[in-house]
Structure 1
Amino acid sequence: MALVPVLLAKLWSVIPRLFAWPPVRGVAHGLERLSLLLLVGGAGLEFVTGILNIQLLYVFPGSFYTLHFYGAWVFIAAFAVHVALKLGRMTRALRSRAPAAELRTGLAATRPEPPDPDHLVAAAPRPPTMTRRGAVGMVGAGSLLLLVVTAGQSIGGRLRASALLAPHGRDPGSGPDGFQINKTAAAVGITRAQLGPSWRLEVRSHGPSLILTRAQLLALPQHAAALPIACVEGWSTADQHWSGPRLTDLAALAGLPHSGSVLVESVQPPGPYSSVVLRGNQIHDHRALLALRVNGADLSIDHGFPARVIVPANPGVNNTKWVHRLTFRT
């Protein structure tokens, strides 16, 4: 969010060249233009999809994570090519004048850049209406403002109210469950009746399924882990103190003590976030739990009651809530 003004300022500074005509003047120029298309397109894709995802507007096709991941590779590859092509020009331009002196220059003494071989400078520029210092300051102030009205959702406490641009800025309340919630049970269509006395956890592998009530899960050896939640949608929590049976103990109950993966399924209606596959190294981490309690109290319904997985270094979306089935696999 804080880099949006930087991206817009950069695009504004080169926008005449983005629409130069003819668009291609040869093979080398065509390759450079292609890298520029991938650079600008990749940056736009990353920023647009990232901001939409932060705002919980899932309007893009397919999985955000896959789209964002491969978009990042396209952007980084194009960026590396662009820097390689322009490094000499960039170095010469920066050495041609003292940046500190430019930033001290007033509006009356501000002059356009001299003409250059690539015609990056406008042919007939209008008189300046802002100094370079003003332009840099405006971009910096814009970034700072966006940081202030967004970062409170991760910092928490009293600053949470300052997260005006973040849908996660709502106050989750106080007490043991008073920390960040991405999606409430109501938001994903889960009712209290689904999580009431009739709820059971099904643990499966290659043999018959094991059906466990919450009371039976609480009767298993309980372990504790202090773990944060960090979400790709732009928020995080500090360490919370979780407790419940270890995933590796549940794998042993299922008859696969050395399982290579587990499919975790939620009561949540089928969709891209209703299940996740955890790898073997995640299962066998001694801090990986099927959490039943947090900070000394039962999970609230919005934090995943009656059970959720919590795994170290796992994106928040993969710490599935409202778990009702674990299928361990070789």
Structure 2
Amino acid sequence: MRDDSRLPSAPGFWRSPLRGPWFTSVLGLVLLVGITVLFVTGLLSYAAYNPDLASVNDKTPDKGILGFYLFAWPTNPYWLYRLNQGVHVTLGITLIPVLLAKLWSVVPRLFALPPARSLAHALERVSLLLLVGGALFEFVTGVLNVQLEYVFPGSFYPLHFYGAWVFFAAFTAHAALKTPAAVRNLRGLRKEREPVAETEPAAEPETLASPRPDTPTVSRRGALAFVGGGSLLLFLTTAGQSADGLLRRTALLAPRGGPDPGTGPNGFQINKTARYAGIRTAETSREAWRLVVTGRTGTVRLGRDDLLRLPLHSASLPIACVEGWSTSDQWWRGVRLLDLAALVGHDDPPDVFVESLQRRGAFRHAALRANQVADPRSLLALYVNGEELSPDHGHPARVIVPAAPGVLNTKWVARMTFGDL
């Protein structure tokens, strides 16, 4: 008689005694809370890019009804985007061991035969494929983006955005079906407090628990402690990228968010260098560079000396990027955006379209909403921490706006157009 226990579809193939309703339920409830927070912070991050303002900011032009919730991103509190994106990225990385353990705990069901016993069961299996595939897709692309490894086809923004909606739809349906049972499992099962020697496989239909389990070598709470330890390790080596103080020194997994790279007033994190962006020294010199400002009353061209004759203002603001890393607060000094708008006839600051000298990379242009222009802390910065901007930080001038994603704080500014976009 043929032994089919070597096939993944056979219940006897999966031998771990840890699989069971309690272990799966604990992991599932953790993911229920964590993934909900990830989805909400992800949507808020997308809103912060002002995708409805101008096509240059919108990396998902066919979003349709998926953009129903968009709103004008506020400038207060000034650390809002830093907090939101720090939570989004840090939590996503921290949940990776939990997600992998959850997938491991239910993997026998992915191979169960027959694949569909009824129409309802077939729909459940399809939703399960969307759930598992969506989870892996979102976490993998998210981690690759954090590590600045763009090996996937197309732009990260639409892939991650549309993938998030597909995944969360499947996740919501799955949670609605499984959460009541998960809560009952946690209330009803007490054997998980037993020592390893007394750990027994839980009675569970549909092949989740093995009918022929191996001898246990760890208790279920020990396995949960192992998963929790992995999450804690990832948290400690990531969270510092969006924090200040000693924790920043532990951000070993953050390409840009670790200890300050260098000393002096310009010694803080850099995303794109002037060399990478294709900035030529000749075009940023005091003699050559001119800022072109266009608005209701026409166009003015301002050299650095012209800008220095305008009232200068200061603001203490961080730079926070979509990858989750941020700088500590830096002291910026320059001309307020609302004063530049007034130079070209806009007493009530409108939206502005900002163009850079940058030749390579994404976001060579950016658009800002009127409320961002009107904030007195929004500057065309000429100095940082008492010194002229370095080439890598945007010399001769860069935009800095409170609570805005870092890519909207355009460096090497060449032109600003105020008015309807």
Alignment TM-score > 0.5, same fold: yes
Indicate whether 1:319 and 2:392 are aligned: no
Match of 1:297 in 2: 387
Q: CA offsets per residue over residues 193-218 of structure 1, 9 Å max, x none?
A: 33223121111235643211112112
Q: CA deviation at 1:31?
A: 2.6
The one of 306, 314, 337 aligned to 1:216: 306
AA at the equivalent of 1:310: I
What letter is aligned with 1:53? N
* Counterpart for residue 204 of structure 2: 115
Alpha-carbon offset, residue 270 of structure 1: 5.1
Partner of 2:351: 261
Taking the aligned partners of 1:312 and 1:179, their CA distance within structure 2 comes to 18
Q: In the TM superposition, what is the alpha-carbon distance from 1:232 to its structure 2 partner?
A: 1.3
- 2:237 alignment partner, one of 137, 149, 155: 149
What is the identity, as a one-letter code, of the residue corresponding to 1:143? S
Q: Give the counterpart of 1:31 among 123, 139, 159.
A: 123
Partner of 2:281: 192
What is the identity, as a one-letter code, of the residue corresponding to 2:156? Answer: F
Q: Quote the offset at 1:179 in angstroms.
A: 2.2
- Is 1:166 the counterpart of 2:254? The answer is yes
1:1-330 mapped onto 2 (5 Å cutoff): 1-98=93-190, 102=192, 104-116=193-205, 118-157=206-245, 159-168=247-256, 169=258, 171-197=260-286, 198-205=288-295, 208-258=298-348, 260-269=350-359, 271-330=361-420
Partner Cα distance (1:167, 1:64) in 2: 17
Q: Aligned pair in 2 of structure 1 residues 134, 212: CA closer, same or farther (>3 Å)? A: same
Q: Residues 141-174 of structure 1: CA distance to partner in whole angstroms, max 9, x if unpaired?
A: 1112222222333335555443322211364222
SS at match of 1:327: strand
For residue 190 of structure 1, report the CA deviation from its aligned partner: 2.4
* Contiguous gaps of at least 5 residues in structure 2: 1-92
CA deviation after TM superposition for structure 1 residue 139, in Å: 0.9
Residue type at the aligned position of 1:125: P
Aligned with 1:181: secondary structure?
A: coil
Query: Does structure 1 conserve the Cα–Cα contact (< 8 Å) formed by 2:108 and 2:207?
Result: no
Distance 1:20 1:205 in 2: 65
Q: Is contact 2:276–2:360 with CA below 8 Å preserved after alignment?
A: no
In 2, the alpha carbon distance for the partners of 1:212 and 1:143 equals: 52
Secondary structure in structure 2 of the residue aligned to 1:220: coil
**How much does 1:13 deviate?**
0.8
Shift of 1:226: 1.8
Aligned-residue Cα RMSD (Å) equals 2.2
2:197 partner SS: coil
Deviations 1:300-325 (A, max 9, x none): 22211111111121111111111111
Where 1:235 maps in the other structure, the secondary structure is coil
Instruction: Please report how far the alpha carbon of residue 55 of structure 1 lies from its aligned counterpart in structure 2 after TM superposition.
Output: 0.9
Question: Aligned equivalents of 1:230 and 1:328: distance in 2?
Answer: 25
Tell me, yes or no, if the aligned pair for 1:105 and 1:131 is still in contact at 8 Å: yes
8 Å CA contact 1:63–1:272 kept in 2: the answer is no
Distance 2:121 2:368 in 1: 47
Distance 1:251 1:296, change over 3 A: same
Letter in 2 for 1:57: E
TM-score relative to the length of structure 2? 0.72
Relative CO higher for 1 or 2, CA cutoff 8 Å, sep ≥ 6?
Answer: 2
Farther-moved stretch of structure 1 (181-190 vs 6-15): 181-190
Alpha-carbon distance in 2 for matches of 1:6, 1:190: 44
1:163 and 1:86 mapped to 2: Cα distance?
36
Number of paired residues? Answer: 326
Question: 2:419 corresponds to which letter in structure 1?
Answer: R
Between the aligned partners of 1:48 and 1:125, the Cα distance in structure 2 is 32
